[in-house]
Amino acid sequence: MIYITSMDESYESLLHKAYEQVTEPTEETSRWTYPEPRVTIEGKTTILDNFTDIVSAFRRDPDHLMKYILGELGTAGKLDGNRAIFNGKFEESLINAIITSYVSDYITCSECGKPDTHLVKEGRVQILMCDACGSHRPVRKRKARSEPVGANLEVGAIIEVTIENLSRRGDGVAKIGKNIVYVSKSKPGQTLKVKIVRISGSIIFTERP
Ligand SMILES: [Zn+2]
């Protein structure tokens, strides 16, 4: 495994803390988790209070996660101690969804679902290597931001989605373009028709019709 040495010590304790913080009952107790993002609004900025805890649990470069979140939010921001500060007001659910999306793109193995992975560069392509099962895949190419929400994506519309993974709250997560779709009571691999009940930025909340 490749670790950043300075994070090595704190990783174990952070992971331990992360497990302690899990209060929701989960069927698979071994499911990897990370600290729940704590998001507050201060004036015209949005604060992610425990950015450092989260990125330590991820064992990834803080700048990498920060750039990813800023890119998804389409805003500027800075790191301040343990906190990340984003210009503008963003809903907690949006920050949560972006972090969930980062995890599925850059951390969890798509074969075995474990987070014991590291990134390597092969030419211009980033590869996610799994230390647990040995499989590897190219990191998903992100589509450019500012792709408008399609005309058919509006409240009340019925859309068909395929669940890719689960959010840390246990909701199914699907993607349409750059949009993240939440579907409760669903499982990865399922394809189902859902009704859009709310749209918040690139996050789409749905219910089963
Ligand atoms: Zn694996």
Distance 106 CA to ligand 1 centre (A): 13
Long-range interactions of 148-155: CB distance < 8 A, separation 24+? 149/179, 149/199, 149/202, 150/176, 150/177, 153/179, 153/196, 153/199, 153/204, 154/196, 154/199, 155/196, 155/197, 155/198, 155/199
Question: Is there a domain that residue 197 lies in?
Answer: yes
Reading the chain (209 residues) residue by residue, the pLDDT tens digits are 554 444 455 666 666 666 665 544 444 446 788 999 999 999 999 999 999 999 999 989 999 999 999 988 888 999 999 999 999 998 888 899 899 989 988 999 988 989 999 999 888 888 999 999 999 998 876 544 434 444 478 888 888 888 988 887 888 999 887 788 999 889 888 989 999 998 888 889 999 88
Distance of CA 147 to the CA centre of its chain: 19
Distance 129 CA to ligand 1 centre (A): 8
Distance of CA 165 to the CA centre of its chain: 10
Distance 52 CA to ligand 1 centre (A): 25
Domain count within the chain: 3
CATH number at residue 191: 2.40.50.140
List CB contacts of 144: < 8 A, sequence separation 6 or more: none
Distance 46 CA to ligand 1 centre (A): 34
Domain range spanning residue 53? 5-107
Question: Is there a domain that residue 149 lies in?
Answer: no
Distance 198 CA to ligand 1 centre (A): 34
Residues 89 and 52 in one domain: yes
Residue 26's SS3 state is: coil
Distance 201 CA to ligand 1 centre (A): 32
Distance 131 CA to ligand 1 centre (A): 7
User: Shortest CA distance to 24 belongs to which of 190, 208, 171?
Assistant: 171
Distance 37 CA to ligand 1 centre (A): 25
Read off the pTM: 0.59
Residues 9 and 103 in one domain: yes
Residues 11 and 70 in one domain: yes
Distance 22 CA to ligand 1 centre (A): 23
